[in-house]
Homo-oligomer: A and B are copies of this chain.
Amino acid sequence: MRQSTAPHSLRWWFTLLLVLPLLAQAQDPLPSWKDGPSRKAIEDFVAAVTTEGGKDFVPEAERIAVFDNDGTLWSEQPMYFEVLFSLDEVKRLAPQHPEWKEQQPFKAVLEDDQKALSESGMQGLMNIIAATHTGMSTDEFIAQSQRWLAGAVHPRSKKPFTEMVFQPMRELLAFLRVNGFKTYIVSGGEVVFMRAFAEEVYGVPPEQVIGTTFQTEFQDKDGKLSIQRLPKFLHNDDGPGKPVSIDAIIGRRPIFAFGNSDGDLQMLQWTMAGPGKRFAGLVHHTDTTREWAYDRESKVGRLDKALDAAKKANWTVVDMAEEWNRVYPFEQN
């Protein structure tokens, strides 16, 4: 009996092995994307560059996809989440800095004085970020970022910030990876802060996160080694800084790029200027109900020049309100 059933069970296993990939394909990899122009553009592009023998085929090693983070992979209202982290950190660290009580912009943060804070401008913000992001080791800063992310909640939704991520974009990241793409984050956010959650939340490992950086130094303190973070900005990963960091760190031109603001324009231009088939996409915040609606006049994530460029060049512009079934993972669908 054993001998006669063996080929049978082999055949059964063999059939299963053949059928499993088909089953997987049959499941929609982009369930949060409605049938619409953006979904079609994404699917057509991926089919074109992954079809062996096709005229637009791109070898796997060259399938580099880059994504902005703030406003592209997660929300950025009412303020960049990393700024909210920095303001919380000023309050947490205040006891160690009695001088902040009298020193702007820290005084404004401690007194919740929005007007004074706003008057401190970009330089004030940079000072707050430097004061809260440096003066410790990389390991310590990651740990503190993770502590904050584990406890803080968004002022409107009362959800953890790591749940304020765009479910359709998470599906897109996974869809690209299944199709042999290497997915990168290239963002104005500080690189180590993003690494504190990018792997868990987006499936993007630390070595594929590129961002704004501070200078660091190797420290050997009686044999205890660390990388210390210094209060000096090294690279501003915004606007023209994005193609610069892509060239410096990835060393290849992406074939796929997604952003949402004018700070992403040069990254999209750089991606599209290469030879062969390429994809540029913008998340357009049009959703007053589930997320926010803003573009040309917004202080956070202004989308003006890049929107013009997208329209002129026929890039994909995602109408969030119209094209997404679901914005956040926590929504009931």
Contacts and interface: CB of A to CB of B under 8 A. Distances in A.
Interface of A: 6-8, 10-11, 14, 61, 64, 138, 182, 191-192, 195, 199, 205-207, 209, 213, 216-218, 220, 225, 227, 240-241, 243-244, 247-252, 266, 269-270, 273
A216 B244 contact: yes
Given A10-B14, A225-B269, A192 B243 contact: no
Nearest to A250: B207
A193 B207 CA distance: 21
9 contacts: A10-B10, A10-B14, A64-B207, A182-B207, A191-B251, A207-B251, A213-B248, A227-B243, A227-B247
A174 to B, nearest CB: 16
B225 A244 contact: no
Contact of A240 (B61, B195, B217, B248): B217
Contacts of A209: 251
A199 to B, nearest CB: 8
Contacts of A191: 248, 251
Contacts of A207: 64, 182, 249-252
Contacts of A216: 244, 247-248
B206 A250 contact: yes
Given A14-B14, A225-B273, A251 B218 contact: no
A61 B11 contact: no
Contacts of A195: 251
B243 A218 contact: yes
B206 A252 contact: yes
Contacts of A11: 6-7, 10
A241 B191 CA distance: 18
B252 A218 contact: no
A205 B60 CA distance: 12
A18 to B, nearest CB: 11
A218 B270 contact: yes
The 7 closest A-B pairs by CB, nearest first: A206-B251, A7-B7, A218-B240, A227-B247, A207-B250, A225-B273, A218-B243
Nearest to A8: B7
A199 B252 CA distance: 12
**Among A10, A207, A240, which residue has the most Cβ atoms of chain B within 10 A?**
A207
A307 B191 CA distance: 35
Nearest to A7: B7
Contact of A249 (B217, B225, B249): B249
Contacts of A248: 191, 213, 216
Contacts of A213: 248
A278 to B, nearest CB: 13
**Among A218, A250, A252, which residue has the most Cβ atoms of chain B within 10 A?**
A218
Nearest to A273: B225
A180 B24 CA distance: 25
